[in-house]
């Protein structure tokens, strides 16, 4: 008999946690012993087209923090499919409180993707800590988050599970703009922790010595103060002919196939999916020393690691790849081997199957 598990995510926009939720749902449904379901609570988005088993998907159209209509739909879905395990990703943990109140025997797994959570304080931390009393297991994407979860939350257990990457979307829609020979790509939604302003400052210095290079930023534009600051920087420094913003894209495989270098300039991370995607395509990379980036990128072996919030260091890292193409190519090849061997979907799925089985056995004993 298959183990039934519902993955919950707030949106299907093209973020790291959202990508993992959809890829995990798809990968689990290729197994014989797991029946996976997927719920998007608030917003659909481009990742919907990647969902393989639509009959196991529900969109709640949740409009409020406590939305009775959305909860009623979710309760019916859980009851109809006899789901016993809820796997909530990032901020969707809140809705699991109401699920637990309705279905007492349901077990909740919370997937902690967000590296910046280690900086939580005040009422936000207190609220999460209170909610964590219903968590059977917290899955953390790196050791730092796992240590934080053990010290700050009240879950029964905490574990570490490395992210994985699958580039199954083979569409070819997004042609990179401009006519540059060297295309630098940054796949990161326009959020402050991704520190695009630091990247733009570094890229401005690159243009002082290279004319035939462009920067392509792929990720959700939230139309807020931060995204406005990025647009203003591009305009003020006259970068519009070399810097391009693309918003959400799902054809990441095709986009990266057109790139020369992959960069991430983050202030904080868990284990970025974008980095694994760069590796799958064998791109030379420059990343900041945050989260588990340094587990994947060994400096000067599988890429370049630089200090965060330091545009001079970021500039020098990218410059090293632009000027040393032979070594850059070798680092890209090394990264591809490392990602393929250590961040595969098979190991990830096997871990979850074992976890779900142990949780299911606990349910059956009661």
List average pLDDT for each run of 10 residues in the chain, which is 366 residues long: 94 93 96 97 95 97 96 97 97 95 95 94 96 97 95 96 90 96 97 97 96 96 96 97 95 97 96 95 97 95 98 98 97 96 91 95 70
As to burial, measured by CB atoms within 10 angstroms (0-12 exposed, 13-18 middle, 19+ buried), residue 276 is buried
Residue (of 23, 77, 13) closest to 277 by Cα position: 23
pLDDT given for residue 103 in this prediction = 95
Q: What is the pTM of this model?
A: 0.87
pLDDT given for residue 356 in this prediction = 97
pLDDT given for residue 134 in this prediction = 96
- Give the number of C-alpha atoms closer than 13 A to the C-alpha of residue 174, restricted to the C-beta side: 24
Fold match between 3-164+344-365 and 182-342? yes
Query: Where do the structural domains in the chain lie, given as residue ranges?
Result: 3-164+344-365, 182-342
Q: How far, CA to CA in Å, does 345 sit from each of 124, 137, 161, 162, 187? A: 33, 20, 11, 10, 21
- The Cα–Cα gap between 32 and 350 comes to 12
- The Cα–Cα gap between 244 and 177 comes to 7
As to burial, measured by CB atoms within 10 angstroms (0-12 exposed, 13-18 middle, 19+ buried), residue 226 is middle
User: Do 45 and 221 form a contact (C-beta atoms < 8 A)?
Assistant: no
For 182-342, the fitting CATH number among 1.10.10.10, 3.40.50.1000, 2.30.30.90, 3.40.50.2000 is 3.40.50.2000
What is the CATH code for 3-164+344-365? Answer: 3.40.50.2000
User: Do 190 and 243 form a contact (C-beta atoms < 8 A)?
Assistant: no
């Amino acid at each position: 008999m298959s183990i039934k598990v519902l993955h919950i995510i707030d949106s299907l926009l093209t973020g790291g946690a959202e990508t993992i939720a959809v890829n995990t749902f798809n990968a689990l449904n290729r197994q014989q012993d797991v029946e996976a379901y997927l719920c998007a609570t608030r917003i659909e988005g481009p990742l919907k087209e990647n969902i393989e088993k639509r009959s196991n998907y529900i969109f709640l159209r949740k409009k409020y923090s406590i939305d009775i209509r959305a909860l009623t739909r979710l309760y019916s879905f859980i009851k109809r499919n006899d789901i016993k395990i809820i796997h909530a990703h990032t901020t969707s943990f809140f809705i699991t409180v109401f699920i637990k109140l309705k279905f007492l025997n349901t077990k909740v797994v919370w997937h902690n993707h967000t590296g910046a959570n280690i900086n939580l304080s005040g009422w936000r931390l207190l609220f999460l800590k209170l909610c964590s009393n219903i968590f059977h297991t917290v899955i953390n994407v790196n050791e730092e988050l796992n240590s934080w979860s053990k010290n700050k939350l009240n879950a029964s257990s905490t574990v570490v599970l490395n992210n994985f990457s699958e580039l199954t979307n083979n569409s070819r829609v997004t042609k990179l703009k401009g006519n540059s020979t060297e295309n630098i790509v940054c796949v990161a939604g326009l959020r402050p922790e991704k520190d695009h302003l630091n990247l733009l400052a570094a890229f401005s210095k690159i243009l002082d010595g290279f004319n035939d290079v462009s920067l392509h930023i792929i990720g959700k534009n939230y139309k807020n103060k931060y995204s406005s600051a990025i647009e203003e920087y591009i305009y003020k420094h006259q970068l519009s002919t070399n810097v391009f913003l693309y918003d959400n894209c799902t054809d990441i495989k095709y986009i990266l196939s057109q790139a020369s270098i992959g960069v991430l300039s983050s202030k904080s991370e868990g284990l970025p999916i974008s980095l694994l995607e760069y590796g799958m395509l064998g791109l030379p990379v420059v990343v900041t020393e945050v989260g588990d980036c340094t587990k994947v990128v060994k400096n000067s072996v599988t890429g370049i690691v630089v200090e965060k919030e330091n545009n001079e260091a970021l500039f020098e890292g990218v410059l090293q790849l632009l000027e040393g193409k032979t070594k850059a190519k070798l680092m890209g090849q090394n990264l591809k081997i490392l990602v393929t061997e250590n961040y595969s979907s098979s190991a990830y799925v096997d871990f979850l199957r074992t976890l779900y089985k142990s949780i299911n056995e606990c349910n059956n004993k009661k």
